[in-house]
Amino acid sequence: MDAVAQWRKQWFDYTQYLRLEGFLDDQFAQLKKLQDENSPDFVVEVVSLFFQDSEKLLNNMARALEQNVVDFKQVDACVHQFKGSSAWIGAMRLKNVCINFRNYCEAQNLEGCLGCLQQVQQECSALKNNLENLFRLEQQIVAAGGSIPVME
């Protein structure tokens, strides 16, 4: 198998794994469809923006949960925003943790919230690694003269 075919196979296997594990869902494929010659780096741009925003949101959530009197509405607003962004990029696991998180906010359950915050941080980290791996694979395919397969 030549280099391009090998990288492409790896790409298929990796995206399959990411979908099976629930890291990415169909919406990620939708996101990829938006990329074209006019905006060849669109997906990377959106993903970078997502992680920039998520850092701010996570900090805000952590700070809000540290207060003596926790403003659960404020935490919920952050989680709502985070859930929305996660949905846009197809980050299914993150989105699901956010759903739980919002329930704990509504119940004003501090312990539950703190647990979810930790989970969100872990999932975010894992997703970042996974996407970096995926983008690296894609760069390798292109560098070897191949084209990135279409995600269905």
Partner 1 sequence: MESGFASSSKGFMENVDQPHVLAVDDSDIDRKLIEKLLKNFSCKVTTAENGPMALEFLGLGDHQNHSNISKVNLVITDYCMPGMTGYELLKKIKESSVMKEVPVVIMSSENIPNRINKCLEEGAQMFMLKPIKQSDIKQLRCHLMNCRS
| Contact assessment for residue 8 and residue 71, using Cβ atoms and an 8 Å cutoff | no
The Cα 12–Cα 90 span in angstroms is 17
Q: Which is nearer to partner 1, 7 or 50 (CB)?
A: 50
Q: Which is nearer to partner 1, 26 or 132 (CB)?
A: 26
Q: Residue 117's closest CA among 69, 72, 68?
A: 72
Q: How far apart are the first and last CA of the chain?
A: 24
Smallest gap from Cβ 26 to partner 1, in A, equals 9
Q: Which is nearer to partner 1, 41 or 111 (CB)?
A: 41
Q: Which is nearer to partner 1, 35 or 121 (CB)?
A: 35
Smallest gap from Cβ 9 to partner 1, in A, equals 28
Smallest gap from Cβ 113 to partner 1, in A, equals 20
Q: Which is nearer to partner 1, 9 or 56 (CB)?
A: 56
* Residues lying near partner 1 in the complex (CB under 8 A): 27, 30-31, 33-34, 36, 38-39, 42, 45-46, 49-50, 53, 80-81, 83-85, 87-88
Three-class secondary structure of residue 109 per DSSP: coil
The full DSSP string for 16-68 is: HHHHHTTSS-HHHHHHHHH-BTTBTTHHHHHHHHHHHHHHHHHHHHHHHHHSS
Smallest gap from Cβ 40 to partner 1, in A, equals 12
The alpha helices in 89-109, defined as continuous H runs, are 92-106
Smallest gap from Cβ 88 to partner 1, in A, equals 5
